[in-house]
Amino acid sequence: EPEVTQTPSHQVTQMGQEVILRCVPISNHLYFYWYRQILGQKVEFLVSFYNNEISEKSEIFDDQFSVERPDGSNFTLKIRSTKLEDSAMYFCASGQDRGYNEQFFGPGTRLTVL
Amino acid sequence: AQTVTQSQPEMSVQEAETVTLSCTYDTSESDYYLFWYKQPPSRQMILVIRQEAYKQQNATENRFSVNFQKAAKSFSLKISDSQLGDAAMYFCAYRWGGSEKLVFGKGTKLTVNP
């Protein structure tokens, strides 16, 4: 069964460094998402992406964040200058459609900012 | 703001018994969807069951069923004949029909005792 994959599983970085988190969505999906979960807190929506542009974003998704689908298979989240509070689990998800349809989640990337 | 509350951080059940996980939500919208996701240890979140708000009939998927009380804004998950493989974190989530994002509760950790 097709799955969303994410790399790396764990990323450690220094404050102020740029990081790129990578995701490979399910191949026939058209909608792509990033969520994050700070330890002990709720899973929070960051951004959705459709037709090569951001379709919705949360107030968390400020100018230090960007997303890209550089080719037909990858979907990336870039954090330009990481802060301590960016330490979290980042989940990628993809879906065939919106609304009632399921979002399929990846296993997550644990980002630790030192 | 739309919020989802799961009041039980942890629950336990004996194998073969039935357990109910609670979820309440707050919204002023009429067009929305509700979901239960399961996250086994070190694995990705997978969809267990979903419900459209306009449907009065409670959704059922094999041993999993929901009790959807729209007026009370309650969406509980019942797991019948619990199995060891049901042990996981369970997240309740809400999605407004006009939005891409899932709004999650904090999750309930379910332990299944043999």
Q: Is A107–B52 a contact, with Cβ atoms under 8 angstroms apart? A: no
- CA gyration radius for chain A? 13
DSSP A102: P
Determine contact, residues B89/B107, Cβ cutoff 8 Å: yes
A112 contact B CB<8A = no
Report the C-alpha gap between A49 and A79 in whole angstroms. Answer: 16
- Burial class of residue B55 in the structure, from the number of CB atoms within 10 Å of its CB (0-12 exposed, 13-18 middle, 19+ buried): exposed
Task: Give the separation between CA B9 and CA B52, rounded to whole angstroms.
Answer: 25
How much is the pLDDT for B21?
A: 98
Between B41 and A66, the more confident residue is: A66
Q: Tell me the pLDDT band of B42, cut-offs 50, 70 and 90.
A: confident
- Residues A35-82 have pLDDT tens digits of 999 998 999 999 999 999 999 999 999 999 999 998 878 999 999 999
Q: What is the rounded distance in angstroms from the CA atom of residue A33 to the CA atom of residue B45?
A: 14
> What pLDDT, in 10s, does the model give residues B74-85?
999 999 999 999
By Cβ distance, the residue of B97, B99, B104 closest to A56 is B99
User: What average pLDDT score do residues A15-30 get?
Assistant: 96
Amino acid at B101: K
Q: Does A61 touch chain B (CB under 8 A)?
A: no
Confidence bin at B41 (pLDDT 50/70/90): confident
pLDDT at A23 over 90: yes
- The overall average pLDDT reported for chain B is 95
Judge whether B16 and B82 are in contact, CB under 8 Å: yes
Q: Which of A75-89, B31-45, B79-93 has the lowest mean pLDDT?
A: B31-45
Q: Do B44 and A105 touch (CB under 8 A)?
A: yes
pLDDT above 80 (res A98)? no
E strand map for B1-114: 3-5, 10-14, 19-21, 24-26, 32-39, 46-52, 60-61, 64-69, 74-79, 88-96, 103-104, 108-113
Percent of chain A with pLDDT over 70: 98
Enumerate chain B positions whose Cβ falls within 8 A of a Cβ in A. Answer: 4, 33, 35, 37, 42-47, 50, 52, 91, 95, 97, 99-107
Cis-peptide, bond into residue B114, ω within 30° of zero: no
Q: Which residues of A touch B33 (CB under 8 A)?
A: 99-100
Given a cut of 90, whether residue B8 has pLDDT beyond it is yes
Closest CB to B50: pick one of A42, A100, A105. Answer: A100
